[in-house]
């Protein structure tokens, strides 16, 4: 009799423990549901946590490719449960993480998808998937996808600027210094315009200077 009661007691404890763990699991999953996509590399969870895709730098929303990047990230993860790996804390409390759709037998690495489809640049931040992210980034460049297409990138041989504003605004990728080039400048015909980072055209030198650009060397 006592043995039977012990068996029943242990069974009840097991059931209660299982129910508790299931409830805890469900609460954790609810907290990791994406509530809002902010832009092409940042979103907010139901828990209130704001997360940025580590190694991914999408255009600001008001720049070329920004809307498309946010729309794509929304399509991928909005209202879905995600898993955060290698989470790091950034300034102002935002988290950086490798982000996977969850649960899946072969989880999709969202960071890689955004880069591979050409909707962001990589910042080469250290993480276990950096080589994979870098490869995805260069693949999009080679295939001229997303921001690397004519949507946001204009080479000297395929000028699409239809206005008379011909002053090219260019940002040095190493120093981040801003320069403008007049049609008579030495390097004018070699300048590539990348609109996703804020490069473009100005009609007057005054406009360029007000925006923080300085005349490039080699200009008359």
| Beta carbons within 10 angstroms of residue 145's beta carbon | 16
Tens of pLDDT, residues 132-154: 999 999 999 999 999 999 999 99
How many whole angstroms separate alpha carbon 127 and alpha carbon 170? Answer: 30
pLDDT band at 20 (very low <50, low <70, confident <90, very high): very low
Contact 185, 213 (CB under 8 A): no
- Sorted by sequence, the CB contacts under 8 Å of residue 123 that are 6+ apart come out as 55, 56, 57
Q: What is the largest CA-CA distance in the chain?
A: 103
Tens of pLDDT, residues 89-129: 987 788 999 999 976 677 899 999 999 999 999 999 999 99
């Amino acid at each position: 009799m006592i043995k039977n009661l012990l068996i029943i007691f242990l069974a009840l404890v097991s059931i209660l423990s299982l129910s508790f763990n299931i409830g805890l699991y469900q609460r954790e999953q609810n907290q990791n549901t994406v509530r809002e996509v902010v832009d092409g590399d940042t979103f907010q969870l139901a828990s209130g946590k704001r997360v940025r895709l580590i190694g991914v730098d999408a255009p600001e929303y008001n720049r070329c490719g920004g809307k498309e990047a946010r729309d794509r990230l929304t399509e991928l993860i909005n209202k879905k449960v995600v898993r955060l790996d290698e989470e790091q804390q950034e300034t102002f409390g935002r988290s950086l993480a490798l982000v996977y759709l969850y649960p899946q037998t072969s989880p999709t690495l969202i960071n890689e998808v955004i880069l591979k489809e050409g909707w962001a640049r990589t910042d080469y931040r250290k993480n276990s998937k950096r080589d994979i992210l870098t490869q995805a980034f260069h693949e999009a460049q080679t295939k001229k996808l997303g921001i690397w297409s004519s949507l946001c990138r204009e080479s000297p041989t395929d000028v699409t600027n239809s206005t008379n504003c011909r002053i090219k605004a260019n940002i040095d990728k190493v120093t981040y210094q801003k320069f403008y080039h007049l049609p008579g400048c030495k390097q004018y015909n070699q300048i590539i315009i990348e609109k996703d980072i804020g490069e473009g055209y100005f009609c007057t030198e005054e406009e360029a200077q007000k925006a923080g650009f300085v005349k490039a060397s080699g200009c008359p």
